[in-house]
Structure 1
Amino acid sequence: MRSGRAAGLALGVMLDAVFADPRRGHPVALFGRAASWFEGRVYGDARVNGVGYVAVCVGVAAGAGLVAERARSPLARTVSTAAATWAVLGATTLAREGACMASALEAGDLGAARERLPHLCGRDPSGLKAPELARATVESLAENTSDAVVAPLFWGVVAGVPGLLAYRVINTLDAMVGHRSPRYERFGWAAARLDDVANYVPARLTGLITVLAAPDRRRALAVLARDGHRHPSPNAGRCEAAFAGALDVTLGGANVYGGRVEHRPAMGDGPPPGVGDIRRAVRLTRAVSLVAAGAAVLAAWGMARRRVTSAG
């Protein structure tokens, strides 16, 4: 069953590098619309409703992946893995969005930068100046390097197509209903907690890979070890602290989400990130993505060889 997984992951990474995410008709966007429709039928201000909602959405995705994974033809398994990897991976688009933010801020176009920020995160950009937009971009690049790159590759290695599809559904549901609000305080509980579990290992792998890609590995590791646990999220802080150490900046501060202000602890020892640090963060994201892709393909290949050796 593992035959073709490494090749499929490698091909999917290449497809992402060439085509990135389509602006229209992306599979994740289509799922989002279907999930929104389903939410309207099962919503209730109770955890049990949210548990059922998440179970059905994730179960359908994992079941579809399992059908594809059990195809008899190795070529079919490779193609389905490649297609799923391309659909769930966001490495190229993430780096491009970071570069677009850098270009807008370098040109002094705050309007364009504010309009672009929602492509990276859910913060309210309306009142943000250039320094706050720069910090939001760097922090979002750090967190999304895990969510959009390392995590899907990790679950692709561990569980193949079902893992790829289930992870992307979990992460999408967290973005849709897992945030704190009167509507989703209870209904979104299951989505948020499941996303925490699904990202626990990938976030820590992202932190370690970031240390390996950092210009000063000792500093990046020190900041990761000291500050990674300080973030209210069990996972985001590992990524942000590693990026802070790698870039020698300090991340954290007040963030506004739909009129709600949340305060994040300071992570790092350097100055707050400036506009000039965004392109450095983009390069770091690309480096971490490349290392993660190579490691995922090698891990999948090694697992396949071990399985063949054991069978023999």
Structure 2
Amino acid sequence: MVVAGADTIVVVQAGTATAIGMAAGTAADLVFADPQRGHPVALFGSAVAASQQWTYRDSRAVGAAFTAFWVGAAAAVGGFAGRLGPAGVAGATFSALGGTTLGRIGEEIASALDSGDLEGARALLPSLVGRDPSLLDEAGICRAAVESIAENTSDATVAPLCWGALAGAPGLLGYRAVNTLDAMIGYRSSKYANFGWAAARTDDVANLVPARLTALLAAVLSGHPLRAARAVRADAHRHPSPNAGVVEAAFAGALGISLGGTTVYSHGSEDRPVLGSGPAPLAADLRAAVRLSRRVQLASAVVAVIGAVSAR
């Protein structure tokens, strides 16, 4: 009984420390957003890019080992951070989140379009997506920005918070490593079809639950749950990503717009299915997407903090 009681106290303290740290890290992201220099994710990406120069092989096995090494390294750093208590978890949370910057860039793009500054909007777009902005008109810019805000509401906030609630600081940083690797090498291109296969599949698995939680929150918090649900049911399965399609369809239905179509990347173009049944998004819809994203992010933080106390 005494040992069980002591163990229970340790579990409660660990869960409480994680919850406090995640709440503090989320608040820090709201206040400070992503640092312009020295962001941990940017430093991680630089290290990954440098190591890829001498480890790259057109091989699934090598790519899987590469992915496992970097995810393991990030999780190990998270383990060290977790031993520092709430302060360490707060630092890991702040490093893993990117939702505030996401919303601010979306608003800046909308403001540029409202003022007729198409070139200014194009210059901002690469901060959100990997598409060639020179080929996009106003509608194309808005569509790209809304799709990115929808997907990254899950990737940059909901998913890391879910993994933080489940596994603490190692979950936060391990997930961020998975998502960063997917963004860097998880392409369906001739170079990365094999080497990036493990990174892409790992990211798919890591986002299965968070993406659906994001879609559910977007549907409920938009005030149009049935419209969002219809779009997800009718269109999400046609998207090449098992997770992005769910989130983008939910946002399209919730906002009463349509997303998808031909998408031009640096590695080539892809014909994406149309999601939703409304008109193409404009600047006002981009602002609405930012507002919805912020509501979803806040709600997911509340769910994650409660979950951290319950799960650990």
- Is the counterpart of residue 90 in structure 1 residue 98 in structure 2? yes
* Residue pair 2:109, 2:124 contacting (<8 A) in 1 also: yes
SS at match of 2:238: coil
Q: CA deviation at 1:4?
A: 0.4
Letter in 1 for 2:281: P
User: Which whole-Å deviations, capped at 9, do the CAs of 1:113-137 have from their partners, x for residues lacking one?
Assistant: 1111111111111110001111111
Say which of 199, 208, 233 aligns to 1:191.
199
Corresponding residue of 1:273: 281
SS at match of 2:206: helix
| Separation (CA, whole Å) in 2 of partners of 1:219 and 1:184 | 37
Q: CA deviation at 1:77?
A: 1.3
Say which of 89, 104, 107 aligns to 2:112.
104
Corresponding residue of 1:19: 32
Poorly superposed stretches of 4+, deviation over 4 Å: none
Corresponding residue of 1:215: 223
User: Which whole-Å deviations, capped at 9, do the CAs of 1:194-234 have from their partners, x for residues lacking one?
Assistant: 11111111111111010111122221122222222221111
User: Which whole-Å deviations, capped at 9, do the CAs of 1:243-285 have from their partners, x for residues lacking one?
Assistant: 0111001111110011612111111121111122111111011
Gaps of 5+ in 1: 305-312
| Separation (CA, whole Å) in 2 of partners of 1:3 and 1:245 | 37
Gaps of 5+ in 2: 1-13
- Is the counterpart of residue 30 in structure 1 residue 38 in structure 2? no
Say which of 248, 251, 255 aligns to 1:247.
255
Q: Across the two proteins, how many residue pairs are aligned to each other?
A: 299
- Is the counterpart of residue 290 in structure 1 residue 303 in structure 2? no
User: Which whole-Å deviations, capped at 9, do the CAs of 1:70-112 have from their partners, x for residues lacking one?
Assistant: x2xxxx3111110000001011101001101101111111111
**What RMSD over aligned residues (CA atoms) do the two structures have, in Å?**
1.2
| Separation (CA, whole Å) in 2 of partners of 1:196 and 1:254 | 22
User: Which whole-Å deviations, capped at 9, do the CAs of 1:45-83 have from their partners, x for residues lacking one?
Assistant: 1111111111110111112222333x2xxxx31111100
SS at match of 1:270: coil
SS at match of 2:145: helix
Corresponding residue of 2:168: 160
Corresponding residue of 2:63: 50
* Residue pair 1:124, 1:259 contacting (<8 A) in 2 also: no
| Separation (CA, whole Å) in 2 of partners of 1:24 and 1:218 | 43
% of aligned pairs identical? 53
